[in-house]
Structure 1
């Protein structure tokens, strides 16, 4: 049997949760059955290098401005020339332009739409476009039950059942105490301090300001050493806020990093104070690394974390509750060890990359089979007309 040709389309390939899931998926598909390719529009990162190193063909189609005719025609040409069996888009911009380009084809392949978050703060225009996309999808994959529920409520007119497939995460080998101490020294964590970690974009959604405010609410002696791994438009403002509230001496801004897993293994716990999450890669990766987690009880976070068992949850934007969670983990090494063991075990059982790939391949195969069945009457009619 010839391998099925799969194209994944995404707007940007900067380092983020959806982008990491794309890499996990495309580099772990069964190559005896699938030939994967990727189209992206902007923001090259080391993730592209990983795909190309794994033998995945990558198309970069730059998009300049909101309406770019050259970009659209190039995308349509790639879709037409690739003779793909199925196309899966991972972001709204990618979904919209891919669907429009597929309309130019006489027999387009099945299209799979995505739900990668809750989108609660999005505009009416966003939801108009999302409804258009979802109503024309052969399948829809959501990475959380919370995201699927929101989409069904706000999008409406969804003609197919939404498949919930949780993110997958590699389970890293444990690092030695010497390696852990060496990394802590490289990022300048004082030897006598408990280290808290945030990994993610410095944007409003992640609510890092609440984390800084929670630090300020703790006595200096009970504050962790806080490491922020990530970049974004709020970095300068957050640094200024940390200084204004008197916590800058205990906060380190590392910028974007390619060694998030190692940082999680070196830290004593991770904090995710987001206003909104689908199914967070940062949480999953930390749990898989055996790093205890504290997270806001929003979106898909409660799907991952059982409070007091695999992590700690606090109400959204409640800096006092977050400060209490931080204080508990700073002062209780036994609790940290318990959460570490149980979080890693949960990630191994429920969120392996093999489970992600198997479930996604099943959706793709179902769509292709359904499209083949629908195409048979058309082919039979065409054959009949040729013989009359």
Structure 2
């Protein structure tokens, strides 16, 4: 039996996010005798293409294939709805027929919106891998009508108000994590980071990881650092934001810096930018503060649990599906920076609690979120879709 061919289209003009890391981890783990992956990037390779190349995967760049402009993801070079309907959708149909996949697997907002209808027009199966807000337009209006399968990273992100029922087509599959690599030495990583920033050994390092977008609430992180610093006057407290600026929401970096200035903690906030690999930095910080709301299932949250950095997260989105308050991390009220103070003080003052949280979190992460389990679940879905298409 010939292998099942799966097309993975990506935008080439975005930053590297958790959705890219997750699906590319899946692709590298597919059995090549059973599955053939074809990766297509719109217009340019970008950071995503660089990462794909680093993984040893091949890809094509469709330089003359723009994307339809969507309200949440406007980019230079995108086209309007009229052009999409009149010509671009048909161009995508031709690309699908040229590449000849049985399945088109999309993984990010505007890629879902652009590819789901052409996939159905081309007579192929579409898999909508949902990692976003359950209230999003596409998952409620387009996916219920046109996709063959919705795979979501959490129960939280089930479509809130689908135009038609999705039961029977909705499956939760947790993101894949490769826990086989060596864990960076925490003390060594911490010392390097302190040296880079010129900070004393006793500094409490609070980390934030993610693309700088409003949903992830980086400004709330700055405010939480200010609250914690006020509660710990005898110890230096510094907040480090790791992540790239999103072109669709370019104001967040300046908003963070402006808020830090207003709160008088400019010297305590560090915009670290995009760093890869990230594991050493995630291991280096003392505590990871997850301020996001409507986050279906944050990849960095699980990575932090694996790397031995305790997590304090908002009790919102998919976070409560991973964190049990006081057992493998802490949950706090969303949109309330002061709520992070109590758990931070407990972790900073009680080494035994800190170590217990770290051990429990790592054990649970390894049990629930291993890469092989994810690959097994996804290939089962691929097999079912391919059988439905007559493969």
TM-score by length of 2: 0.85
Q: Offset of 1:257 from its aligned partner?
A: 1.5
Larger radius of gyration: 1
Residue number in structure 2 paired with 1:212: 222
Q: Does 1:111 align with 2:126?
A: yes
What SS class does the counterpart of residue 104 from structure 2 fall into? strand
Residue number in structure 1 paired with 2:71: none
Q: Offset of 1:189 from its aligned partner?
A: 4.1
Q: Offset of 1:18 from its aligned partner?
A: 1.0
Q: Offset of 1:93 from its aligned partner?
A: 2.2
Which moved further from structure 2: 298-307 or 259-268? 259-268
Q: Offset of 1:311 from its aligned partner?
A: 0.7
Q: Offset of 1:208 from its aligned partner?
A: 2.0
Residue number in structure 1 paired with 2:265: 247
What SS class does the counterpart of residue 156 from structure 2 fall into? helix
Which moved further from structure 2: 133-142 or 308-317? 133-142
Deviations 1:214-238 (A, max 9, x none): 2222323356321111132210121
What SS class does the counterpart of residue 340 from structure 2 fall into? helix
Q: Is residue 293–residue 334 contact of structure 2 (8 Å, CA) maintained in 1?
A: yes
Aligned residues: 364
CA distance in 2, matches of 1:190, 1:44: 41
CA distance in 2, matches of 1:226, 1:329: 16
CA distance in 2, matches of 1:191, 1:152: 47
Deviations 1:46-84 (A, max 9, x none): 442342342333334443223355654543222011111
Q: Offset of 1:187 from its aligned partner?
A: 4.2
Which moved further from structure 2: 280-289 or 83-92? 83-92
Query: Residue 208 and residue 104 in structure 1: after superposition, are their counterparts in 2 closer, same or farther (change >3 A)?
Result: closer
CA distance in 1, matches of 2:343, 2:266: 20
What SS class does the counterpart of residue 277 from structure 1 fall into? coil
Residue number in structure 1 paired with 2:28: 27
Q: Offset of 1:303 from its aligned partner?
A: 0.6
CA distance in 1, matches of 2:287, 2:130: 28
Structure 1 segments unaligned to the other structure (5+ residues): 374-388
Residue number in structure 2 paired with 1:56: 58
CA distance in 2, matches of 1:182, 1:159: 50
Deviations 1:95-144 (A, max 9, x none): 23223323443xx2211122212244x4xxx25x7422232222110110
Query: Residue 96 and residue 249 in structure 1: after superposition, are their counterparts in 2 closer, same or farther (change >3 A)?
Result: closer
Q: Offset of 1:28 from its aligned partner?
A: 1.4
Q: Does 1:238 align with 2:251?
A: no
TM alignment of 1:171-250, pairs within 5 A: 171=179, 172-176=181-185, 177-218=187-228, 219=230, 220-222=233-235, 224-232=237-245, 233=250, 234-250=252-268
Which one of the candidate residues 119, 126, 137 is aligned to 1:102? 119
Which moved further from structure 2: 172-181 or 207-216? 172-181
Q: Is residue 104–residue 127 contact of structure 2 (8 Å, CA) maintained in 1?
A: yes
Which one of the candidate residues 153, 156, 163 is aligned to 2:164? 156
What SS class does the counterpart of residue 27 from structure 2 fall into? helix
Residue number in structure 2 paired with 1:371: 389
Q: Is residue 222–residue 330 contact of structure 1 (8 Å, CA) maintained in 2?
A: no
Give the number of the structure whose residues are more often helix, by fraction: 1
What SS class does the counterpart of residue 8 from structure 2 fall into? strand
Query: Residue 28 and residue 135 in structure 1: after superposition, are their counterparts in 2 closer, same or farther (change >3 A)?
Result: same
Deviations 1:241-268 (A, max 9, x none): 1011012222211112113211111111
Query: Residue 42 and residue 260 in structure 1: after superposition, are their counterparts in 2 closer, same or farther (change >3 A)?
Result: farther
CA distance in 2, matches of 1:281, 1:189: 28
What SS class does the counterpart of residue 215 from structure 1 fall into? helix
Q: Does 1:2 align with 2:2?
A: yes
Q: Offset of 1:281 from its aligned partner?
A: 0.7
Q: Offset of 1:146 from its aligned partner?
A: 0.9
CA distance in 2, matches of 1:213, 1:94: 34
